Each structure stands twice: as C-alpha cells, then as structure tokens.
C-alpha cells in the first residue's frame, strides 16, 4: 500500500521572517488524516530570511533532526551546545527530559533553507543528547546511505533509520523494507519516478506491505528515506 503526499497539498505557515511547508499537521495546519506516519511526526521545509529565526523555545521527548539544504543555521541550547550548521550538514537533538534552544539564520545577507524532522522516541524521559554530521554531496550514490539511527553518526532514541541518496540523472536505487516496517520517502530536490508515479522536490511517498521501493531519477535528485517501526 502506498500514499503520495503532494507538495502542493502541504500546509503552509507564512510570516515576515518564515516560509514553512508542513507535510503533516503542525502549528496552524491541522488535518486529522495527516498526523504523521508511524513514529515520523513532522517534516517541515523551512526558509528563514537573513537575521531571522526561531527564538528560545522548549522541546521534550522527541528526536529532532535538522538538515540544512542551503545557507547556514545557528544553534544554541541549554545543554551547552552552540554551533553553526552549514549546507549539507545534519544535526540531531534528542530532547529527552527537556531542552530549550534557538535556531537562527547565521547570515545577515542570505536566507537559510532547511528541513526539520521530528521522530517519536520509543522511551520517554531519557537524557538529552546532541550530535552533528556532514553529508557527502560530491559522490553520486548507487544505494542509500544510512545517516541517522542504527550505527550511524546520529544515534536515535526512536527505532527509526534515515537513509539518503544523491542521484545522477537516469540512476536507479531501491530500498528494501523488513516485514512489518513502513517506509517514507521525501524528495529533497530534483525529479524521480517510482513505478508510474512522478515525484518532485517536496513530494513524498509513504509505503508499507511492499518488499522494495524502486526509484529512477529523471534529473539529478536528492532523496531521504525513513525506515520506520
């Protein structure tokens, strides 16, 4: 069974400093049929103007991944971390018992474009933790690379794994699901085709009960695939 989440049907929040698209219900966008998929709760695609950003706010009991697509994002939190996340880098903040943090555009001249992803952990009340990693954009992949969860540099408290592929035009890639697990594919950029379905940047596909998801790129493309319990 598969379901397409079309980019044009996402929720949207627009204010002076922020333009944000919501794959699932978030903030002022509420759709009872789009409350997440398995333990994947949020995928927001955010663009923040120079000098703007999210002031200090709190999270708890959530694995939060932030992937900067272009620009740079300045992060500061209550557990002692302060850094700039640049394009091509991914950050994990496992909020656990509670973390306050801020996320600001690190530039006064250029916008920042990033994905923010929330995953529900399998245990509540764990100790907060933080990690960062840089993804390789120089090598075209013929398979998905594990970037979060499992034995990756970004260990999750949720029983999820996040894979990434950066494909040249005409390349093919597939992801196998173990029995009982579900998959969620998000197109970061470019155009791909899954069987007869075309997907472009911002589109997504959730799937379960299938052995493998086969993808062919119609342009250079970047993909994220979540393997979920």
Asked if residue 122 and residue 22 are part of one domain, the reply reads yes
How would residue 143 be classed by pLDDT, with cut points 50, 70 and 90? confident
Are 126 and 222 members of one domain?
A: no
Give the pLDDT confidence of 31-66 residue by residue, as tens digits.
Answer: 999 999 999 999 999 999 999 999 999 999 999 999
**pTM of this prediction?**
0.95
Give yes or no: residues 17 and 130 share one domain: yes
- Left, alpha or beta for 142 (phi > 0: left; psi -120 to 50: alpha)? alpha
Is 3 inside a domain boundary? no
Regarding whether 119 and 19 lie in a shared domain, the answer is yes
1 part of a folded domain: no
Which two tokens mark 195?
């069987």
Under 8 Å between Cβ of 64 and 103: no
Tokens, residue 157:
């408290």
pLDDT at 139: 53
**Cα–Cα distances in Å, from 172 out to 140, 144, 151, 193, 197?**
11, 11, 25, 10, 14
42 and 23 belong to one structural domain: yes
State pLDDT tens for residues 67-123. 999 999 999 999 999 999 999 999 999 999 999 999 999 999 999 999 999 999 999
Per-residue confidence band for 140, with pLDDT thresholds at 50, 70 and 90: low
165 with 196, same domain: the answer is yes
Look at residues 32, 33, 5 and name the one whose alpha carbon lies nearest to residue 21: 5
What is the domain count for the chain?
2
Of 83, 99, 134, the residue at which a domain comes to its end is 134
Q: What is the CATH number of the domain that holds 114?
A: 2.60.120.10
Give residue 179's pLDDT: 93
- Identify whether residues 90 and 160 lie together within a single domain: no
CA separation for the pair 55, 183 (Å, rounded): 33
Helices (H), 113-227: none
Asked whether residue 51 is assigned to any structural domain, the reply reads yes
Q: Find how far residue 142's CA is from the centre of its chain.
A: 21
Are 18 and 109 contained in the same domain? yes
Domain that holds residue 185: 145-228
| 117 and 164 assigned to the same domain | no
């Amino acid at each position: 069974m598969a379901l397409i989440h079309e980019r044009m049907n996402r929720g949207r929040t627009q204010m002076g400093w922020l333009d944000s698209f919501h794959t699932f219900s978030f903030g002022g966008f509420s759709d009872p049929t789009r409350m997440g998929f398995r333990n994947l709760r949020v995928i927001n695609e955010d663009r923040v103007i120079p000098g703007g950003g999210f002031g200090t706010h709190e999270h708890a009991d959530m694995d939060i991944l932030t992937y900067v697509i272009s620009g740079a994002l300045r992060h500061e939190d209550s557990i002692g971390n302060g850094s700039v996340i640049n394009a091509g880098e991914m950050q994990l903040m496992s909020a656990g018992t509670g973390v306050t943090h801020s996320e600001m555009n690190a530039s006064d001249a250029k916008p920042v474009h990033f994905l923010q992803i929330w995953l529900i952990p399998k245990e509540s009340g764990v100790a907060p933790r933080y990690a960062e990693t840089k993804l390789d954009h120089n090598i075209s992949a013929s398979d998905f690379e594990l970037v979060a969860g499992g034995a990756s540099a970004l260990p999750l408290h949720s029983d999820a794994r996040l894979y990434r592929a950066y494909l040249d035009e005409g390349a093919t890639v597939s992801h196998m699901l173990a029995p009982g697990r579900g998959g969620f594919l998000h197109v970061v950029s470019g155009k791909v085709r899954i069987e007869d379905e075309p997907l472009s940047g911002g589109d997504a596909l959730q799937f379960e009960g299938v052995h493998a998801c086969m993808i062919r790129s119609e342009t250079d493309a970047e993909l994220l695939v979540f393997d979920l319990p």
